[in-house]
Structure 1
Amino acid sequence: MIVFIGSGKVSAEDKVVVWKSPTCGCCEAWVTYLEDEGFNVVSHNVENVVPIKNRLGLKDPALYSCHTAVVSGYVIEGHVPAMDIRRLLNDRPDILGLTAPGMPQLSPGMASIIPKNYDVLSFNEAQQAEVYSRY
């Protein structure tokens, strides 16, 4: 099954698995945002997400955010917009994942579903990052 949403498509195989704090409202808001965007999301509440980040290959705290997800083998860290996840799944670049480091105030799950005033970075296994999208 393929669902067409906006400018990209989300396959049923592209399940997003999220690890987050049970007390973080913005994490839950990001999960709801992705579901509203057509993603199949499975969410796990954990007390400490850092060991999961490390197990997935995300080791540089400068790239961390409040929640961590995986979709089709890619790490998605923090408040990454759905359009960037769709682009990632469409292009399938040779990277470890995407991150919106910190907690960008005007990002999906925070104060705006329309991303503004922050960068989404791609990063590799060596933790080298570059701008993937600029809002």
Structure 2
Amino acid sequence: MTELPRRKILVLFSAGAVASAAGGFPGLAVAGAPVMEVARSPDCGCCGGWIEHMRAAGFTVNVRMTDDLGPLKAQLGVPPELHSCHTGAVGGYAIEGHVPAGDVLRLLREQPLAIGLAVPGMPLGSPGMEVGGETEPYEVILFTASGREVFARH
């Protein structure tokens, strides 16, 4: 694949064009549902919980398994300090980690000039990281090429 600008990659990834070219995103979208493409490690169980959270919120989620998410994160412009265990794209935005569905819906509704949202690490109590009722406070970060700001606190 030739080098593409990050925004074009996001648009293609979220539209499924990159996925269909690679043959890695099966499934059909439900009319009107936001379609999200997600790349995740086959060895990570919490990713599946987050994907189910997104589907329960009305997203159509197409999943591609990969052992190396680094190149995709770099292409989409996700800074290393914001990395988590899975990476998605929807509506031209990167979604990194355990971002709650409500925050993704707000992002799509407000459409700020940004690369995307991230929940760095794997905070307990975030979607997909529900472990024995334990929770810890965490922030959802809106990131651009030049900065970051808190988008939501949970």
Question: What stretches of structure 1 of length at least 5 have no aligned partner?
Answer: 1-9
Picking from 2, 24, 48, the partner of 2:44 is 24
Question: What stretches of structure 2 of length at least 5 have no aligned partner?
Answer: 1-30
Paired residue type of 1:20: R
Task: Tell me the secondary structure at the aligned position of residue 17 of structure 1.
Answer: strand
Q: Following the alignment from structure 2 to structure 1, what is the Cα–Cα distance between the partners of residues 32 and 104?
A: 12
| CA-atom RMSD in angstroms | 1.8
Which residue number in structure 1 is paired with residue 72 of structure 2? 52
Give the number of the structure whose residues are more often strand, by fraction.
1
**Whose Rg is larger?**
2
Which residue number in structure 1 is paired with residue 14 of structure 2? none
Which residue number in structure 1 is paired with residue 16 of structure 2? none
Task: Tell me the secondary structure at the aligned position of residue 117 of structure 2.
Answer: strand
**Alpha-carbon deviations, 1:9-28, whole Å to 9, x = none?**
x943x311000000100001
**Alpha-carbon deviations, 1:55-109, whole Å to 9, x = none?**
1111x21111110000011000000000100100100000100000011111000
Give the number of the structure whose residues are more often helix, by fraction.
2
Paired residue type of 2:138: Y
Q: Following the alignment from structure 1 to structure 2, what is the Cα–Cα distance between the partners of residues 79 and 31?
A: 9
Task: Tell me the secondary structure at the aligned position of residue 142 of structure 2.
Answer: strand
- TM-score between both structures, scaled by the size of structure 1: 0.85
Answer yes or no: is 1:134 the counterpart of 2:149.
no
| Percentage of pairs with the same residue | 43
Report matched runs for 1:8-87 at 5 Å.
Answer: 11-12=32-33, 14-58=34-78, 60-87=79-106
Which residue number in structure 1 is paired with residue 143 of structure 2? 123
Q: Following the alignment from structure 2 to structure 1, what is the Cα–Cα distance between the partners of residues 48 and 74?
A: 22
Q: Following the alignment from structure 2 to structure 1, what is the Cα–Cα distance between the partners of residues 47 and 113?
A: 27
**Alpha-carbon deviations, 1:94-134, whole Å to 9, x = none?**
01000000111110001179x851100000023x2110001
Q: Following the alignment from structure 2 to structure 1, what is the Cα–Cα distance between the partners of residues 140 and 118?
A: 6
Paired residue type of 2:45: G
Aligned residue-pair number: 122
- TM-score between both structures, scaled by the size of structure 2: 0.75
